[in-house]
Amino acid sequence: MPTKEIHPTRLELTILRALWRMESGTVREIHEVLDKEKAIGFTTVLKMIQIMTEKGLVERAGSSRPQVYRPKHSQSQTQRHMLSDLVERAFGGSVKALVLEALASTKSSKKDLEIMEKLLEKSEGGDK
């Protein structure tokens, strides 16, 4: 049976970012972290954790009470998946088009540009 593509919503990503920092936590602990950043209801966090569990974004860590949740995938895995999806859907599979649009739409520091140049040279097999 093929696995369903997972596309976290903005709120799900906010919860995932908190969990990646925490590594794991109860709904109450997750709520406390999120509520410090922006007011959010406990029941909203509870419902979102339930939905995220069903979607395979988080998993229960054991069967203890209160239940402890952790991200099912690392931050890096999730970012790569979302980026691959974005490249395919918005840029027709062209990483070059994505990079050019990103560079055109934001101001990059000289240091960032140097790092990007080195990465491009490395991916192209350059010796610079």
pLDDT value of position 2: 36
pLDDT at 3: 45
Q: How far is CA 87 from CA 11, 42, 75, in A?
A: 22, 35, 18
pLDDT the model gives residue 126: 52
What is this structure's pTM? Answer: 0.78
In the CATH hierarchy, which top-level class contains the domain 10-71? mainly alpha
The residue whose two tokens read 């369903």 is 4
For 56-86, how does the pLDDT look when each residue is reduced to its tens digit (9 = 90+)?
A: 999 998 777 889 999 999 999 999 999 999 9
Q: Per-domain residue ranges for the chain?
A: 10-71
Q: Is the pLDDT of residue 116 over 60?
A: yes
Q: What is the pLDDT of residue 48?
A: 97
Q: What's the pLDDT tens digit per position in 11-29?
A: 999 999 999 999 999 999 9
pLDDT of res. 124: 66
User: Taking 90 as the threshold, does the pLDDT of residue 44 lie above it?
Assistant: yes
Region of 40 please: left (phi>0), alpha (psi -120 to 50) or beta. beta
Binned at pLDDT 50, 70 and 90, residue 113 comes out as: confident
Task: Output the pLDDT for position 52.
Answer: 96
- Has residue 127 got a pLDDT over 70? no
